[in-house]
Amino acid sequence: MLKEKKEFYKVCFDTMQVGILVCNEQKEIVLENNPLNSIFGYQNNELHGLSTTDILKDIALFNDFIQHPKNQKYKVPIESIGVKKNGQEIPIELTFGKLEYENQFYYKALISDISERKEKEKKITTLNNQLEEEVKNRNNELEKVVEQLKKSLNKEIELNHLKTKFIALASHEFKTPLSAILSSTELIVKYTELEKYHKRDTHVAKVKSMIHHLNGMLDDFLTLENIESGNIKPCYTPLNLNKLIKEITKFTKPSLKKGQVLIFENQIDEEIYQDPKLLKIILTNLLYNAIKYSDEESEIHVKISQNKNNIYFSVKDYGIGIPEAEQNLIFNRFFRAKNVLYYPGTGIGLNIVKGYVTSLKGTISFVSKENKGTSFKIQLPKITIQ
C-alpha cells in the first residue's frame, strides 16, 4: 500500500506544470521532478546529485534566500536566468521555500520556463515602440498641418485687415478728387458764354488731371495684386537713361511746388539693359514722394551711377523726413508715418517700389532724418544679354 502511495506521489510530482527542485544546505539537488529536468535540457534523473549552481545563473539570489528565507520578497515569484545543459540561458520564474525533514533543513524552488511569455512581452514592447513611433510621426504631421492652418488663418486675418484698411483709404483718397471733379463739372456747366472758354478749359484740365490721378491710384491697387501673386516678370530691353530721365521729368514737373527744382546727375552714357516700365514706375514713385514730402524752394537730387556689376539710383530730398521709430515699417503695405497725416497718400507706393526692385533682383535702402530730409538708394545688378 505504502509502495503504491509512493508511486502515486511520484506520478503527481512528475506531472506538475512546474519544475520542482529540492536541495540540501550544500545546494546539492536531492529531489527533482521530470519537468525540472526537461526545462534545463537534462534526461530524467540526470539533475539528481548536481548542484543548484549548475542551473541557476544568479546563485547569489539563492544564497540570499538561504540566509533570509523569511524575507518578504521571497513570498512572490521572482524572475531570474536559468542555464540549460548545453549552456543556453533561459528566462525563468522562481518561488522559494524552506522545509525541515528528519532534523535537516532543505530548500525547495518551483521553477517555470517563461521563455514564451518573455518572447511575447518582447513582441508587445516592440509593437508598443513601433506604435509610439507611429503616433509620434502622426503627431509631427498633425503639428505641421496645424502650423500651416495657423499660417493660412493669420494670412486670412491679415488680408481682412488690409481690406478694411484699403476701404478706409480708398474712400478717403477717392473722395477729394471726386468732389473736385464734381465742383469743376458744375462750374463748366455755368461757363456757357464763349468769352469764358479759358475758365472752362482750366476746369476741363483739372477734371482730366483728377481722373488721371484716380486712374493712377487704381493702377497701384491692381499692381499690388500682381506683386502679391508673384506675377511680375521683368522684360529687359536696351534703354537710354537720359531718355528715361526726360520722360520722368515731363511726368513729374507739373507736381513740383513753387521754387522746387529737380537736379539730375547721370554718369551713365551708354545704353543699359533694364525693364523701362518697371524702372520708370520705381523712379517716379520715389520722385513724387520727394516732391510731396518736401517744401517749396527746395532741391531734389536724382543721381545715377555705376560700378563694375551694379547700377545705382538715388533720390534725395530735404523734406520732412521719416520718424526714426517708424523707419522699419515704411515698406509695409498701407503704412504711412505719423508726420504725413496732412499729406495725401495711400501708403502703397513704396510697397510697389520694393516689389519691383525685388523682381529686378535689386535692393532698396534709405537714410532719413526728421525735418532734414530723405535719401533713397536703389541698387540693380547690371544685365548682360547674350
| Shortest distance, position 272 Cβ to ligand ADP, whole Å | 25
What the block records as the C-alpha cell of 76 is 512572490
| Shortest distance, position 365 Cβ to ligand ADP, whole Å | 13
Among 284, 314, 374, 379, which residue interacts with ligand ADP (rule: CB under 6 A)? Answer: 374
Q: Which helix (H) or strand (E) holds 183?
A: helix 115-190
Among 19, 82, 177, 349, which residue interacts with ligand ADP (rule: CB under 6 A)? Answer: 349
Identity of the residue numbered 146:
V
Window of 42-50, 142-150, 265-273, 339-347 that interacts with ligand ADP by CB under 6 A: 339-347
Query: Nearest-CA neighbor of 377 among 292, 316, 324?
Result: 316
Query: Nearest-CA neighbor of 207 among 185, 176, 192, 186?
Result: 185
Maximum distance among all Cα pairs of the chain, rounded to whole angstroms: 154
Window of 86-94, 230-238, 268-276, 348-356 that interacts with ligand ADP by CB under 6 A: 348-356
Among 330, 360, 364, 378, which residue interacts with ligand ADP (rule: CB under 6 A)? Answer: 330
Q: Does 19 bind ligand ADP (CB under 6 A)?
A: no
Among 200, 203, 206, 336, which residue interacts with ligand ADP (rule: CB under 6 A)? Answer: 336
| Shortest distance, position 357 Cβ to ligand ADP, whole Å | 13
Among 19, 35, 82, 347, which residue interacts with ligand ADP (rule: CB under 6 A)? Answer: 347
Those residues whose C-beta lies under 8 Å from the C-beta of residue 16, and which sit 6 or more positions away, are 33, 35
Among 82, 321, 355, 362, which residue interacts with ligand ADP (rule: CB under 6 A)? Answer: 321
Strands 261-266, 299-306: parallel, antiparallel or unpaired by DSSP?
parallel
Whole-angstrom Cα Rg for the chain:
48
Residues 48 to 107 in contact with ligand ADP, rule: CB under 6 A: none
Helix spans in 43-114 (H): 59-67
Window of 27-35, 190-198, 240-248, 336-344 that interacts with ligand ADP by CB under 6 A: 336-344
Say how far apart CA 176 and CA 159 lie, in whole Å.
26
Measure Cα distances from 315 to 190, 311, 330 in Å.
44, 14, 16
Residues 278 to 317 in contact with ligand ADP, rule: CB under 6 A: 289-290, 293, 317
Closer CB to ligand ADP, 23 or 350, in the complex: 350
What the block records as the C-alpha cell of 240 is 537710354
Closer CB to ligand ADP, 272 or 320, in the complex: 320
Task: Yes or no: say if 29 and 52 are a contact pair by the CB < 8 Å rule.
Answer: yes
| Shortest distance, position 374 Cβ to ligand ADP, whole Å | 4
What mask, x for binding ligand ADP by CB under 6 A, covers residues 118 to 137? Answer: --------------------
Q: What is the total count of residues that contact ligand ADP (CB under 6 A)?
A: 21
Closer CB to ligand ADP, 227 or 322, in the complex: 322
| Shortest distance, position 171 Cβ to ligand ADP, whole Å | 15
Query: Nearest-CA neighbor of 40 among 18, 55, 30?
Result: 55
What the block records as the C-alpha cell of 300 is 531734389
Closer CB to ligand ADP, 311 or 330, in the complex: 330
CA atoms within 13 A on the CB side of 256: 18
Query: Nearest-CA neighbor of 17 among 94, 112, 133, 103?
Result: 112
Task: Yes or no: say if 111 and 93 are a contact pair by the CB < 8 Å rule.
Answer: yes
Q: Does 340 bind ligand ADP (CB under 6 A)?
A: yes
Q: Does 346 bind ligand ADP (CB under 6 A)?
A: yes
Among 345, 359, 367, 383, which residue interacts with ligand ADP (rule: CB under 6 A)? Answer: 345
Q: In a 3-state reduction of DSSP, which class is residue 69?
A: coil
| Shortest distance, position 308 Cβ to ligand ADP, whole Å | 30
Identity of the residue numbered 139:
N
Q: Which helix (H) or strand (E) holds 379?
A: strand 373-381
Write out the residues near ligand ADP by the rule CB under 6 A: 289-290, 293, 317, 319-322, 330, 335-337, 340, 345-351, 374
